[in-house]
Structure 1
């Protein structure tokens, strides 16, 4: 007994030491390729931003097409300038505010022209373009100017290198707006504002720019006229600035903005660093961020995909409050936070699935601030956000998925927000009558004859309800717990067709299905029972009551037979069966859009984890690569990338608010998660290879582990999860959950 006790103590001490040893820093920015996702339908941008930064400074091609949502697409070869606010991977286009363009000639800004035909545009080549986390450069062919960009949290830094003896000039174009103005404050400083309407209806951007050289002359334009003044205002304003070339061939500019005022933009501006200092600091900061997870493999391409994914996952949500804590609300009131950072760009329909769960592991200190931001938006509208952009509610997509983000954080022990207020906000939101909740409360589901996308809305409200129930239970609200749990566990049953086994639109009569039924049919968010997808893709969204869901199919075998059919159905369907969001196809599984992201892990729930391993490996191999087309669908503010980060390590947050992770199949020999508490959670995969992706056995801290999931609590205390991998499935592993 003494020998056993001594051995246990030695193991405990060695494990504790191993998991709490000083973190060795690795140079990981070299693996980041921001061009991944800039082709195809990825909609990412190659420019610069700090992690969760206020500034997203990136080249703008001047195109208005869907694949230019970020302002840039790899297929292009024209740049019209460099804008300071850009979206990463969204399906909607907006922002691209405050356009700067260095040029070497005088241009006429009084004429009417489209963005694509701007007189200051230039051609460029990818051979003379480079990017990594924190730094971007491109050579402008038409102007013989090399452009370099970097950024910190609230300041953008530009460096332009002109050809010797060339005219040195910069155009600032605020483009068409509802109102704008530009002021030359002094020989080095320009300020202004731009008011506009777009996806976010009330956008007010105030900016200040400080140059490294004095402005020798300038021309200001308002509504097509040259104004002889230091100040212009109008619906379309621009300026061309000129600098003396004898003061050297390099010009630098630093730019900051605010949603509140020019004075706040000035406070946000970093006056201390020059470009080279800022670049060095930006890359160093990104290296620190990337060291949150260290993966080890001999395959460098896998590192490139992984660290680019981790980089993309840390671009949004974006910092929105100024250094003094102020930020603008949609109703134009100025709010002030005293103890947290306010965030916007909350793409919650996408990011509640894996992006926010990832942050609970590697950036938990920011999660509470993001929730406090949601509560600030709740104070304004008396409902939690759906898709918040520039502090505007866009009401884009279905459900209220701020709710699972809040509840997940609470269930994982993150409490640096007003938890009581958060629950009351959840309850108030789910008891209102907007966005189909009136029908949902009356019928228990959303009838198809009363609202489009009824099936998706029903299923997503059911999950939001389940999340609300969990927080109610934890806070001791028994009546609320029973109410929300009852709705959650019944809603999805109303739209489940026991004959076809698909989730289908049901009429308000409680009996009739939407006919004729075609499980392949999908129109893009119009006249359909599903949001951006079809019955094949949307019939699996039951994250909270999967045991009963499987029984409704007739048990594990029948359930997995149909689930397996999803991955082998015909992919190319013509006619009405098309949608730009159905991409990244494996059969009818559509990895390019978020509703499919949990599906491969359902085999775990049905007692066949080897099928989860098979299909997760298939998705990892086929839906991500190192080219500009390396994302099979919209990046969606980090969700596509977060799926890869989790799944490539071998775990995935199937039901985020459950505070558990399903086990899939790891790609790496070793993954080390450096936790905020100073501990490490290490995932090892012995014998892993391209062919050896089936789990033979697992040990957790040296003890046999036969469950297909692991809890958040097990991870954050630190430890070692060891996989033994092989080329054939072990159908006996993981059956004792």
Structure 2
């Protein structure tokens, strides 16, 4: 009898243990971070980095290959197998390279840092690595350096990076810090290193590159005392504990006897070494605690939209897209709120966090709309930052890098970001000041606005890329008009609404394209080839051709359809865009024209809204088909998984939104076009108490067409949904099928 009781207790204990283990596994597998692969986009032309950061973090601690080339804009490319160190600032998916500042490299030998390397081949501290001994996950990166027998692990908090180096037993333990190292557009102007005590070094690095005035101050603390050091400045060995010059580097040595592990933590500031010290987290070097906290922070960020599907690859693509969409913009203000502007003015962000790396030509399209759903608290902060940058030259930002206005790309697309936020009820900023900034920006004379104001369009013979710039200014004007209307400024509303019709001047009814027009208002730029591309010079289009740029009228699609002659002509031309041959003509074709489906170029942003335009021409099933086709062909789970530059989250945000069946074709309208959802269920977390659920019954890779829909149980037969409807919570239920229902979402119904 006792044996029976013992057996029952044992079985019960085993069952309880199994249930606990099952729960543990379930908890682990419920973490969305396990679906993220930071290596997606590090190959091809994705230009992403695999290193450690937290959502919108100040630091991006990541490996650097040491090559200056277009596909190494982030400092890293998956095709490479050489590392020169680990930097603390990086760009995610841009088409221009900069940053890779404050380079650390652990090594197991003494090296001469006096020579000026001609290439990475002459860097004494470089090392081979193998992807088999390399890992990355949200907030964590690891690689084994073969030449130095050092295992490197990296993680980060919001403003502090953590390094863990594990050396081979009895090997020399040393770290090289090279402030003279630079890649791509970057060039160091002045740098300094100061060994403050046995555990602490500090310094600065001033450089000129894409950011014309970049000042980075840093501090680093080590877990072991520095036993010896060699400082080099401009080729000379310095005997002191501090030095400054153009190019400064140091090799630090540590005692190898007591432990094979060496830890360091690093903080930066745009303001001063003192601010960097204030940014540096206090406490010990508990690497695993910081790593786990970073992972938890990411997991929370990745639960803002949760998807359900039995297809693991779709989860990987979705959550990696959500990850990439939250690495930029980056925190720029220090812990005390201070940050440096490009004119060296130090200001304090009062009651907001300042951000930089604002790739607005790209991100206004889907990245910022995504943030209005997933991180609305960040949106107002970003706008307040834009308004602070506006004060520098009384012009709103175009493309801001380390608080420098780079003036890269066309238009003033901080404007739609501001208007979209206001229209969506995100208003923790001074709306009157924002309107003043928008109006002042669009009434000044820089970047072709003088010609735009005089002619109501930009003549092709006066400035390059005239068609793209005109179309984008027209959209910006429409956005200003909407803000004026919302604020009761009727005269301004009428003025900017009228200017927003500028696209009409450039539409050539004979060819069906937007074309360069001369000052006389009559003659077109000849000869004309809609497939012709000339990169950034002697061209009417920015990084593209007439096929790709003629559709940018997101604020007046119905009128664009009328210009084409009606729905039939419009949809035939749209369809031809996707089915035309993919030949691009010209001797200087833009490298940005990638991800081609016909003449549609998903690898560059001007194409991103086009598939959703069928919705406005009574053929929503074509939107459903092409949106699904783009998702199916332009994204995958390999390092080559992005068809073009990631561009600070835009390429990924397009996927994240499109995959749940929504896309903001005109962001400032506060409306989302409906496409083709690919998940059985997607849950947008509006608040702790409220969610908006999108269900797709019968969805599969073949069942891509919407057969019917209900919103909160009521028939839903329209091809758009408002932000207001979404944030009220509820359920949008689609029934999907393999053949188009040509009555759903059309006037035929």
TM bucket normalised to smaller:
over 0.9
Tell me the equivalent position of 1:147.
152
Q: CA RMSD in A?
A: 1.2
Tell me the equivalent position of 2:93.
89
1:152-203 deviations in whole A, cap 9, x for unaligned?
Answer: 1100000000000000000000015211100000000000000000000000
Tell me the equivalent position of 2:70.
66
1:224-249 deviations in whole A, cap 9, x for unaligned?
Answer: 01100010111010000000001200
Matched residue count? 714
Q: Distance in 2 between matches of 1:482 and 1:575?
A: 41
Tell me the equivalent position of 1:242.
253
1:671-726 deviations in whole A, cap 9, x for unaligned?
Answer: 00111464101000000001000000011001110000000000001110001000
**Does 2:472 align with 1:460?**
yes
Tell me the equivalent position of 2:355.
343
Q: Distance in 1 between matches of 2:326 and 2:55?
A: 5
Q: Distance in 1 between matches of 2:30 and 2:385?
A: 33
**Does 2:550 align with 1:539?**
yes
Query: How far is the alpha carbon of 1:298 from its aligned partner?
Result: 0.3
Aligned 8 A contact 1:179 1:196 in 2:
yes
Matches within 5 A, 1:469-484: 469-484=481-496
Q: Which of 66, 80, 83 does residue 84 from structure 2 map onto?
A: 80
Query: How far is the alpha carbon of 1:381 from its aligned partner?
Result: 1.1
Tell me the equivalent position of 2:395.
383
Tell me the equivalent position of 2:39.
35
Q: Distance in 2 between matches of 1:438 and 1:658?
A: 27
Tell me the equivalent position of 2:30.
26
Aligned 8 A contact 2:271 2:338 in 1:
yes
Q: Distance in 1 between matches of 2:171 and 2:608?
A: 53
1:350-395 deviations in whole A, cap 9, x for unaligned?
Answer: 0000000000011001100000000000011100000000000000
**Does 2:221 align with 1:217?**
no
After TM superposition, what 4+ stretches of structure 1 lie above 2 angstroms from structure 2?
23-26, 572-578
Q: Distance in 2 between matches of 1:676 and 1:89?
A: 31
Q: Which of 719, 723, 729 does residue 718 from structure 1 map onto?
A: 729
Q: Which of 609, 619, 631 does residue 608 from structure 1 map onto?
A: 619
Tell me the equivalent position of 1:132.
137
**Does 2:694 align with 1:670?**
no
Q: Distance in 2 between matches of 1:429 and 1:731?
A: 44
1:80-129 deviations in whole A, cap 9, x for unaligned?
Answer: 00000000000000011000000000000001213512100000000000
Tell me the equivalent position of 1:10.
none
Query: How far is the alpha carbon of 1:593 from its aligned partner?
Result: 0.1
Q: Distance in 2 between matches of 1:479 and 1:126?
A: 61
Q: Which of 139, 160, 163 does residue 158 from structure 1 map onto?
A: 163
* SS of alignment partner, residue 218 of structure 1: strand
- Which consecutive residues of structure 1, in runs of 5 or more, have no partner in the other structure? 1-22
Query: How far is the alpha carbon of 1:136 from its aligned partner?
Result: 0.5
Matches within 5 A, 1:126-525: 126-175=131-180, 177-273=188-284, 274-489=286-501, 491-525=502-536
Q: Distance in 2 between matches of 1:26 and 1:572?
A: 45
* SS of alignment partner, residue 178 of structure 1: strand
Q: Distance in 1 between matches of 2:129 and 2:306?
A: 35
Q: Distance in 1 between matches of 2:387 and 2:732?
A: 37
Q: Distance in 1 between matches of 2:129 and 2:28?
A: 40
Query: How far is the alpha carbon of 1:577 from its aligned partner?
Result: 6.7
Q: Distance in 2 between matches of 1:569 and 1:618?
A: 15
Tell me the equivalent position of 1:14.
none
Q: Distance in 1 between matches of 2:201 and 2:466?
A: 51
Tell me the equivalent position of 1:98.
102
1:586-640 deviations in whole A, cap 9, x for unaligned?
Answer: 0000000000000000000111000000000110000000000000000000000
Tell me the equivalent position of 1:113.
117
Aligned 8 A contact 2:531 2:583 in 1:
no
Query: How far is the alpha carbon of 1:276 from its aligned partner?
Result: 1.2
Tell me the equivalent position of 2:607.
596
Q: Distance in 2 between matches of 1:190 and 1:300?
A: 46
* SS of alignment partner, residue 484 of structure 2: helix
Q: Distance in 2 between matches of 1:187 and 1:429?
A: 52
Query: How far is the alpha carbon of 1:524 from its aligned partner?
Result: 1.2
Matches within 5 A, 1:629-644: 629-644=640-655
Q: Distance in 1 between matches of 2:724 and 2:34?
A: 33
* SS of alignment partner, residue 567 of structure 1: helix
- Which consecutive residues of structure 2, in runs of 5 or more, have no partner in the other structure? 1-26, 182-187
Q: Which of 625, 636, 643 does residue 625 from structure 1 map onto?
A: 636
Aligned 8 A contact 1:403 1:468 in 2:
yes
Query: How far is the alpha carbon of 1:428 from its aligned partner?
Result: 0.2
User: Normalised by the size of structure 1, how large is the TM-score?
Assistant: 0.96
Aligned 8 A contact 1:383 1:425 in 2:
yes
Aligned 8 A contact 1:80 1:115 in 2:
no
* SS of alignment partner, residue 47 of structure 2: coil
Q: Distance in 1 between matches of 2:557 and 2:31?
A: 42
Aligned 8 A contact 1:681 1:718 in 2:
yes
Query: How far is the alpha carbon of 1:26 from its aligned partner?
Result: 3.2
Q: Distance in 1 between matches of 2:314 and 2:164?
A: 33
Matches within 5 A, 1:651-666: 651-666=662-677
Aligned 8 A contact 1:616 1:647 in 2:
yes
Pick closer, same or farther for the CA change 1:380–1:676 going to 2, 3 Å: farther
Pick closer, same or farther for the CA change 1:25–1:464 going to 2, 3 Å: farther
Aligned 8 A contact 1:25 1:291 in 2:
no
Query: How far is the alpha carbon of 1:575 from its aligned partner?
Result: 3.9
Query: How far is the alpha carbon of 1:578 from its aligned partner?
Result: 2.2
Q: Distance in 2 between matches of 1:357 and 1:725?
A: 26
Pick closer, same or farther for the CA change 1:83–1:356 going to 2, 3 Å: same
Q: Distance in 2 between matches of 1:24 and 1:166?
A: 37
Q: Distance in 1 between matches of 2:35 and 2:332?
A: 29
Q: Distance in 2 between matches of 1:183 and 1:217?
A: 14
Query: How far is the alpha carbon of 1:25 from its aligned partner?
Result: 10
Query: How far is the alpha carbon of 1:24 from its aligned partner?
Result: 13
* SS of alignment partner, residue 176 of structure 2: strand
Range with bigger deviation, 36-45 or 280-289: 280-289
Aligned 8 A contact 1:571 1:585 in 2:
yes
* SS of alignment partner, residue 560 of structure 1: helix
Query: How far is the alpha carbon of 1:275 from its aligned partner?
Result: 1.0
Q: Distance in 2 between matches of 1:469 and 1:115?
A: 52
* SS of alignment partner, residue 384 of structure 1: coil
